[in-house]
C-alpha cells in the first residue's frame, strides 16, 4: 500500500487506487457517491483530496479492527472530561467489548464522528438541552453519521418539546432562522420518529455523585440494542 506523505495535498485517480488497493472504477464510484472529495483540472484530470483518502483508510482500519476483535467502536460527547473517564472505566467490566473515543466539545464531537464513523454515539446527559438538539440535527443530517445510532438521556427526550421555548427565553424572544428550522424538525418527529435515537436511563444526580457512576451499569444492554439497530 502506497503511503500518503504530509506534503501530498491531492492525488490522481491512479495514485488513489494504489493507496486504497482498489480498481480505478471503484475510486471513480467512491467519488460519485461522495465518499472521496475530488475535482477536475482544466485538462479534465480528476484530483482527489489526500485528507479524504486518509479518512477512508482510517475507517477501513476501524472496520478491520472491529471484525477481527468483535469490538464495538463508540464515541461519547461529554460536558466534563471526568464523566467520560468514569464511563470508560465502567465499561471495562462489560461482556461487550467497547472502545470509547471521547470528545468534550460539541464541534470536536461532530468532527470526530465524521472521521471515526463509530458504531454508536453517546450524548452525555449534562450537555445543555438546546446543544443536544443541535447535535441530533447535524448527526441525523450528515451523510457520514446519519446511519449511526445515538444514545440520549431519556430525561432529555421528555424535555425536548420545551427546549426551543427555553432557547427563546434565553435569547429574549428573538428566534433566529436556524432555531425556527429546528422547531419544525422537532414537530415533524426529529426525535420520536427516528429509530436510531435511543434513550438510556435518566440521570438524576441528586446529592450523591455516585448516582451518575452507578447508572453506567444499566447501559450495556442499551449499547447492545443500539448495535442491533445500526443501519449498514
> What percentage of residues in the chain have a pLDDT greater than 70?
69
| Domain locations along the chain | 10-53, 70-229
Global pTM? Answer: 0.62
Measured distance CA(12)–CA(24) in Å, rounded? 10
**99-155 pLDDT tens trace:** 899 999 899 999 999 888 899 999 998 888 888 888 888 898 888 888 899 998 887
The mean per-residue pLDDT over the stretch 56-63 comes to 72
Compare 94 and 78 and report the one with higher pLDDT. Answer: 78
Q: Tens of pLDDT along 150-181?
A: 998 887 776 666 555 554 444 444 444 455 66
CB-count burial class (<10 Å; 0-12, 13-18, 19+) for 92: exposed
Beta bridge partners of 73: 99
Average pLDDT over residues 4-24: 77
| Average pLDDT of every residue of the chain | 77
Give the pLDDT score at 101.
92
Share of the chain above pLDDT 90, in %: 12
Q: Does 64 score more than 80 pLDDT?
A: no
Residue 174 has a pLDDT of 42
Q: Comparing 17 with 164, which gets the higher pLDDT? A: 17
**Residue 128 contacts by C-beta under 8 Å, 6 or more apart in sequence?**
79
User: Which class is 70-229 in CATH?
Assistant: alpha beta
**Interval 14-37 mean pLDDT:** 84
Got the DSSP string for the chain? -----TT--EEEHHHHHHHHT--HHHHHHHHHTTSS-EEE-TTS-EEEEHHHHHHHHHHHHHHHHHHHH--EEEEEE-SSHHHHHHHHHHGGGSSS-EEEEEESSHHHHHHHHHHH--SEEEE-TTS-HHHHHHHHHHHHHSTTTTTS-EEEEHHHHHHGGGHHHHHHHHTTT---HHHHHHHHHHHTTTTTT-TTEEEEPPP--TT-THHHHHGGGGSHHHHHHHHHH---
Amino acid at each position: 500500500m502506497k503511503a500518503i506523505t504530509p506534503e501530498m495535498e491531492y492525488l490522481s485517480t491512479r495514485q488513489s487506487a494504489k493507496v486504497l488497493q482498489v480498481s480505478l472504477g471503484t475510486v471513480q464510484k467512491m467519488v460519485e457517491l461522495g465518499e472521496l472529495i475530488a475535482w477536475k483540472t482544466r485538462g479534465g484530470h480528476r484530483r482527489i483530496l489526500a485528507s479524504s483518502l486518509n479518512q477512508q483508510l482510517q475507517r477501513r482500519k476501524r472496520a478491520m479492527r472491529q471484525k477481527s476483535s468483535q469490538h464495538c467502536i463508540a464515541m461519547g460527547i461529554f460536558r466534563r472530561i471526568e464523566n467520560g473517564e468514569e464511563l470508560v472505566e465502567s465499561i471495562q467490566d462489560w461482556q461487550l467489548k467497547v472502545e470509547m473515543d471521547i470528545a468534550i466539545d460539541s464541534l470536536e464531537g461532530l468532527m470526530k464522528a465524521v472521521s471515526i464513523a463509530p458504531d454508536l454515539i453517546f450524548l452525555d446527559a449534562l450537555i445543555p438541552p438546546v446543544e443536544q438538539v443541535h447535535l441530533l440535527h447535524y448527526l441525523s443530517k450528515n451523510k457520514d453519521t446519519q446511519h449511526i445510532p445515538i444514545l440520549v438521556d431519556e430525561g432529555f427526550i421528555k424535555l425536548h418539546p420545551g427546549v426551543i421555548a427555553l432557547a427563546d427565553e434565553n435569547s429574549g424572544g428573538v428566534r433566529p432562522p436556524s432555531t425556527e428550522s429546528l422547531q419544525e424538525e422537532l414537530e415533524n418527529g426529529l426525535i420520536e420518529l427516528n429509530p436510531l435515537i435511543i434513550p438510556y436511563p435518566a440521570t438524576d444526580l441528586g446529592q450523591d455523585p455516585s448516582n451518575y457512576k452507578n447508572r453506567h451499569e444499566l447501559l450495556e444492554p442499551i449499547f447492545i440494542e443500539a448495535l442491533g439497530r445500526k443501519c449498514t
